């Protein structure tokens, strides 16, 4: 995948104007193992390098360990990962659990 990084970077640059940089610090990067800064160039570079780079899974799990995590989907694969970090998360797997999680 490494040979595709530069072409992918050039492709995603065309969407740079549509990125609201103020929201980037809320997004965890699998490549960096940290939250993004408000630097769009950092985001685009990390996204392209992520194609062939290693995922910093443990760093991401630790990064999110002090945040409220809501897992949405038909199964609960993340629950076990967070449990190993000593954290429980909210799983939304159907309308009943969604109503409970979001107190609708």
Return per-residue pLDDT of the chain as tens, 104 residues. Answer: 999 999 999 999 999 999 999 999 999 998 999 999 999 999 999 999 999 999 998 898 888 887 888 899 888 888 888 888 788 889 999 999 999 988 85
Q: What is the pLDDT of residue 92?
A: 93
SS3 100: helix
Q: What is the pLDDT of residue 38?
A: 96
Q: What is the pLDDT of residue 104?
A: 58
Burial of 90 (0-12, 13-18, 19+ CB in 10 A): middle
Sign of the C-alpha dihedral, residues 50, 53, 57, 60? negative
DSSP bridge pairs for 49: none
């Amino acid at each position: 995948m490494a040979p595709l990084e530069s072409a992918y970077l050039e492709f995603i640059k065309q969407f740079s104007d549509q990125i609201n940089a103020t929201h980037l610090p809320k997004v965890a990067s699998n490549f960096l193992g940290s939250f993004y800064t408000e630097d769009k160039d950092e985001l685009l570079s990390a996204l392209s390098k992520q194609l062939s780079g290693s995922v910093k899974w443990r760093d991401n799990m630790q990064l999110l360990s002090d945040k409220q995590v809501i897992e949405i989907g038909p199964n609960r694969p993340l629950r076990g990962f967070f449990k190993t970090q000593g954290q429980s998360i909210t799983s939304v797997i159907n309308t009943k659990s969604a109503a409970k999680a979001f107190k609708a």
